[in-house]
Amino acid sequence: MARILIVDDAKFMRTTLQTILTKSNHEIVGEAENGEEAISLFSEHHPDLIIMDITMPVMNGIDAIREIMKIDSTALVIVCSAMGHQKVVVEAIELGAKDFIVKPFDEHRVLETVNRVLS
């Protein structure tokens, strides 16, 4: 199974994703609450996949994706966003994100998206 980095400023969202993913035998290698932490943890752990929120303090998900892609252009990123943020999701995809999931999380859709991006 995959080694995954979860990035979201809301602890509840990180916990929700961790629960969904660990039930499917994925390993959570780190949790970050902003883009700066995400870049640092990505460099340290080189996860198979990053699930990245867009709207966060300090550094947003768009800027973090931009920096991560400079480090490793093959990084696999799934962005998560609330409904109504299609414009930033499109920007994230243009920067190299592979897919997106919508909040609130639906367990089946999260796993379906993760499996699709990893395959």
Which tens digits make up the pLDDT trace of 3-46? 999 999 999 999 999 999 999 999 999 999 999 999 999 999 99
pLDDT at 83: 65
Please give the tally of structural domains in the chain: 1
Which tens digits make up the pLDDT trace of 49-61? 999 999 999 999 9
With 80 as the cut, is the pLDDT of residue 84 above it? no
Q: What is the mean pLDDT of residues 72-82?
A: 94
Helix (H) or strand (E) holding 28: strand 27-32
The CATH number that applies at residue 23 is 3.40.50.2300
Asked whether 69 and 98 are in contact (CB, 8 A), the reply is no
Structural domain containing residue 59: 3-118
pLDDT at 72: 97
Tell me the C-alpha to C-alpha distance, in Å, between residue 58 and each of 32, 36, 51, 84, 90. Answer: 12, 7, 18, 22, 22
Question: What would the DSSP string read from start to end of 64-112?
Answer: HHHHHHHH-TT--EEEEEETT-HHHHHHHHHHT--EEEEESP-HHHHHH
Which tens digits make up the pLDDT trace of 88-100? 888 999 999 999 9
Tell me the C-alpha to C-alpha distance, in Å, between residue 49 and each of 12, 70, 87, 92, 114. Answer: 20, 16, 23, 15, 8
CA distance 100 to 93: 8
Confidence of residue 86 (pLDDT cuts 50, 70, 90): confident
User: Taking the CB of residue 12, how many other CB atoms lie within 10 A of it?
Assistant: 8
